[in-house]
């Protein structure tokens, strides 16, 4: 009986190498997915803030009455008129620069203007700034 030089199948060492490589790959994918999900949550929160500010501006123009978006920096919440209170992730650090008379809120006026200011949202090295123009009431976001 002859034995062939080329054997069929894998050695135990080859199988172990493949298992180690697969476990490393799965770990990296899991880590990347976790980072991606937290980034998505942060971006969604910042987008919700921008949407709330823009909706408040529209409300002030349409109703002919001043309207405010209120931020509670201690409870990590914000609320636009006629909308439900929204929370941002605890991992985000939010700071505001607004008119001292209004505290941590932004007021929009029927002529389209606003009290102005900005909201800075940070998580580690990722930062965004929401600028609210006092003259036009425009709400712009940019990554810092």
pLDDT (tens digit per residue) in 103-135: 899 999 999 999 999 999 998 888 999 999 999
Q: Provide the domain count of the chain.
A: 1
Domain that holds residue 68: 12-143
- Residue 72 within a domain: yes
CATH code at position 61: 3.55.40.10
- Residue 1 within a domain: no
- Residue 28 within a domain: yes
Q: What DSSP string describes 5-28?
A: SSPSS--HHHHHHHHHHHHHHHHH
- Residue 3 within a domain: no
- Residue 113 within a domain: yes
Cα 72 to Cα 105: distance, rounded to the nearest angstrom: 8
- Residue 5 within a domain: no
- Residue 6 within a domain: no
What's the distance, CA 106 to chain centroid? 19
- Residue 2 within a domain: no
In the block, residue with structure tokens 């409870």: 75
Quote the pTM value. Answer: 0.73
pLDDT band at 2 (very low <50, low <70, confident <90, very high): low
Report the pLDDT value the prediction gives residue 70, as an integer from 0 to 100.
Answer: 96
């Amino acid at each position: 009986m002859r034995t062939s030089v080329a054997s069929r199948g894998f050695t135990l060492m080859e199988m172990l190498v493949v298992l180690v490589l697969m476990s490393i790959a799965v770990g990296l994918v899991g880590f990347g997915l976790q980072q991606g999900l937290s980034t998505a949550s942060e971006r969604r929160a910042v987008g919700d803030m921008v949407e709330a500010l823009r909706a408040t501006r529209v409300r002030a123009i349409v109703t002919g009455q001043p309207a405010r978006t209120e931020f509670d920096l201690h409870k990590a919440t914000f609320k636009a008129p006629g909308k439900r209170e929204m929370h941002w992730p605890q991992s985000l650090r939010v700071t505001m620069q607004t008119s001292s008379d209004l505290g941590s809120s932004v007021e929009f006026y029927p002529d389209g203007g606003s009290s102005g200011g900005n909201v800075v949202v940070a998580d580690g090295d990722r930062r965004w700034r929401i600028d609210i123009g006092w003259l036009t009431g425009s709400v712009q976001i940019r990554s810092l």
